[in-house]
Chain A
Amino acid sequence: MTCALRRVLLTVPLLLAVSLVVFALVDALPGDPAVRRFDVHANPEAVKAWRREHGLDDPFLVRWGRYVTGVVTRFDFGKSYARNLPVGEDLARKFQATFELTVCALLLATAVGVAVGVLSAAFPRSPLDVAGNLLALGGISLPVFWLGMLLWILCTEVLGLAYRSGRAEAPGLATGLYLFESLARLKLDLFFEQLGRILLPALALSTIPMAVITRMTRAAVLDEIGKDYAVTARAKGLGRARVLLRHVLRNALLPITTITGLQFGQLLSGAVLTETIFSWPGLGSYVVEEGVLASDTPVIVGGILLVATTFVLVNLAVDLLYTVVDPRLRRA
């Protein structure tokens, strides 16, 4: 227990350091943000007022301290330069879109990855194993954004499906999690509409994690399948499938959980690219289109910080999950 508590507490300085790195990196952006916003003939008073409004005149550490305090106490990420709207509200909305996309991609990746991995390990060197290996190799070698474009063309041009990108408007829902909420409220029309739109980006996004999970599952199951307890279970007459699923897979679950949790970083990275292709209104496309391309510092800092924080918290959750998957670790 003390170990878990220590792990939780260590997250705080880590997140502070992460915010400092993002803040410093974006602060190093060459040129004065005020100069980029105003032309040379602008009223100097207006420029001064703008600088004051965005708190740009204070020293770096003061600005950082104020920013972190604002984020922690009021979820205040400052106002965007371009539209002068609070970044925090945008982030909250976009985060839900990204969350839905990454969860769908991870579900897809885990389901396919574990199934193919177990089958590959059960029938090593069979055509099935070769196919699984090819899937894994392709998954880590294809550029996500290229695959996304190919999937798009395949659906719209080759198969002639009326694929629409982005998310559908969903009035009457309380949250931004359109897919999950429409399912929970049994609004099936809306659910299938959302499902149709999320399928392609989720599929494109899932390839890398799917590949990694497939490989890890195969290796972990092969590792366990030769151990004494598995041989004993077979020797006392248990069926092959039963030994594989009830005994071997259970013991192989620890490395699989670890690698699955670590894939969340891949997903958040991939989301930056996938969302741009499919006009998915999530954090990735927000940071790139409204932040980077418009040199809108508060948008960039807020978006990256939120994604990094999510990643850190997911890793923390995975660490804590070990103790559930493997009771032996509880005492450690």
Chain B
Amino acid sequence: MKGRRLRVLLRSKTAAAGAAVVALVVLAAAFADVIATHDPETRQAEFRAPPSAAHWLGTDENGFDVFSRLVHGARASLGAALAAVAFALLAGVPLGLCAGWYGGWLDSVLMRFVDVLLAFPSVLLAVAIAVGLGGGSLLTVILAVGVVMVPVFLRQVRAAVLQVKTQEYVAAARALGARDRRILFRTVLPNCAGPILVLATLSTGVAILDAAGLSFLGLGPPATSPEWGVMLTKGVRYLKQKEQWLLLPPGLAIAVTVLGFNLLGDGLRDAFDPRRR
């Protein structure tokens, strides 16, 4: 990203706030071992303890330290979301480039494939994929959420390529004798990078929500693993009990993180939008 765009991005207070939240969660995920006060899967002396100096957010019904689970949960939840987006990028970007650039039967086949996958409500398709994969692990969640996002990326990249393709600098590159692959990766792809970056940022938020939803439905990692969606699954049982406040930490963590990605994504969109410079 060029300096001018970065300045546009950070001049917006909301985008800067989003970037700060995202940075904070990334740091928490990266240094979870250092930040966490306890091991997230070791029983403490007290079960269902209220917040105290020893346990900042108390302990849950397994006697696990909630704060430590929250910090380690950032690693699992953010990691899963980023991995799912990376999967969607790796599959969607090359396919979208080819569909937009070559057109013809390849484009037709890929777009029909996109139509079929987009005919499913996203969470339901993710559920079907998770079921097909057998469920029960973070990898299942990553693949299910990732596959669901592939058609979205494919379509967006294709649309961007179709727009860039007609530009004079592409014709110029061709006239200079550049081969297809060189034009695609050196000329077309960099000019599509803006929309792809915006989509990837906003999709990370969606992926966190979808992954938490799958975990919540019991299709994610096992019930003791520190993951935000899993922590909420157990929360349902507290609906009528004194421990209702245990719903707050993981839910707030998800909401704030997703909000951060949404603010950052909106800021990036403005920064890349030529009309708003």
List residues of A whose CB falls within 8 A of some B CB: 14-15, 17-18, 21-22, 25-30, 137-138, 140-146, 149-150, 152-153, 156-157, 265-266, 268-270, 272-273, 276-277, 287-288, 292-293, 300, 304, 307-308, 311-312, 315
CB pair B123–A273 under 8 Å, yes or no, is yes
- B258 contact set on A, CB distance < 8 A: 140-143
CB pair B132–A25 under 8 Å, yes or no, is yes
CB pair B262–A141 under 8 Å, yes or no, is yes
Once bound together, how far apart are the Cα atoms of A330 and B213, in whole Å? 41
- A144 contact set on B, CB distance < 8 A: 209, 213
- B216 contact set on A, CB distance < 8 A: 143, 145, 273, 276
- A137 contact set on B, CB distance < 8 A: 259, 262-263
* Interface locus among B56-64, B113-121, B179-187: B113-121
Rank and list the top 5 A-B pairs by shortest CB-CB distance, nearest first: A269-B123, A146-B251, A141-B259, A268-B121, A25-B132
CB pair B254–A288 under 8 Å, yes or no, is no
CB pair A153–B123 under 8 Å, yes or no, is no
Residue B219 lies at the interface, judged by CB distance under 8 Å to chain A: yes
CB pair B247–A26 under 8 Å, yes or no, is no
Chain B, range 226-274, C-beta contacts under 8 Å to A: 232, 235-236, 239-240, 244, 247, 251, 254-256, 258-259, 262-263
Q: List 23 A-B contacts (CB under 8 A).
A: A14-B116, A18-B119, A21-B117, A25-B128, A137-B262, A140-B258, A141-B205, A141-B255, A141-B258, A142-B255, A142-B258, A145-B212, A145-B213, A150-B251, A268-B124, A269-B122, A272-B121, A272-B127, A272-B213, A277-B236, A293-B218, A307-B121, A312-B119
CB distance from B239 to the nearest CB of A (A): 6
CB distance from A177 to the nearest CB of B (A): 21
- A141 contact set on B, CB distance < 8 A: 205, 255-256, 258-259, 262
CB nearest neighbor in A for B217: A288
Q: Knowing A18-B119, A268-B121, A273-B216, say if A145 contacts B262 (CB, 8 Å).
A: no
CB nearest neighbor in B for A293: B218
Chain B, range 196-223, C-beta contacts under 8 Å to A: 205, 209, 212-213, 216-219
Residue B129 lies at the interface, judged by CB distance under 8 Å to chain A: yes
CB distance from B227 to the nearest CB of A (A): 13
Q: A141-B205, A272-B127 are in contact. List 12 more A-B contacts (CB 8 A).
A: A21-B120, A25-B128, A25-B132, A143-B232, A145-B213, A265-B121, A266-B121, A269-B123, A272-B121, A272-B124, A272-B213, A273-B123
CB pair A304–B124 under 8 Å, yes or no, is yes
Once bound together, how far apart are the Cα atoms of A315 and B255, in whole Å? 29
CB nearest neighbor in A for B133: A28
Chain B: residues with Cβ within 8 Å of the partner, total of 41
- A308 contact set on B, CB distance < 8 A: 119-121, 124
- B23 contact set on A, CB distance < 8 A: none
CB nearest neighbor in A for B208: A143
**Contact pick for B116, options A17, A270, A292, A293, CB 8 Å:** A17
- B213 contact set on A, CB distance < 8 A: 143-145, 272-273
CB distance from B264 to the nearest CB of A (A): 12
CB pair B115–A287 under 8 Å, yes or no, is no
Q: Knowing A26-B131, A29-B131, A146-B247, say if A292 contacts B217 (CB, 8 Å).
A: yes
List residues of B whose CB falls within 8 A of some A CB: 112, 115-117, 119-124, 127-129, 131-135, 205, 209, 212-213, 216-219, 232, 235-236, 239-240, 244, 247, 251, 254-256, 258-259, 262-263
- A26 contact set on B, CB distance < 8 A: 128, 131-132
CB pair A143–B209 under 8 Å, yes or no, is yes
Q: Knowing A146-B247, A268-B121, say if A292 contacts B255 (CB, 8 Å).
A: no
Once bound together, how far apart are the Cα atoms of A293 and B256, in whole Å? 30
Once bound together, how far apart are the Cα atoms of A97 and B132, in whole Å? 27
Once bound together, how far apart are the Cα atoms of A15 and B124, in whole Å? 16
CB distance from B78 to the nearest CB of A (A): 15
- A145 contact set on B, CB distance < 8 A: 212-213, 216, 232
Once bound together, how far apart are the Cα atoms of A287 and B124, in whole Å? 9
Once bound together, how far apart are the Cα atoms of A51 and B242, in whole Å? 48
CB distance from B12 to the nearest CB of A (A): 13
CB pair B131–A292 under 8 Å, yes or no, is yes
Q: Knowing A141-B258, A143-B209, say if A25 contacts B119 (CB, 8 Å).
A: no
- B244 contact set on A, CB distance < 8 A: 153, 157
CB distance from A209 to the nearest CB of B (A): 12
CB nearest neighbor in A for B228: A143
**Contact pick for A270, options B123, B205, B262, CB 8 Å:** B123
Q: Knowing A14-B115, A25-B131, A25-B132, say if A143 contacts B120 (CB, 8 Å).
A: no
Once bound together, how far apart are the Cα atoms of A308 and B119, in whole Å? 6
Once bound together, how far apart are the Cα atoms of A15 and B262, in whole Å? 33
Q: Knowing A14-B116, A137-B263, A312-B119, say if A152 contacts B239 (CB, 8 Å).
A: yes
- A18 contact set on B, CB distance < 8 A: 116, 119-120
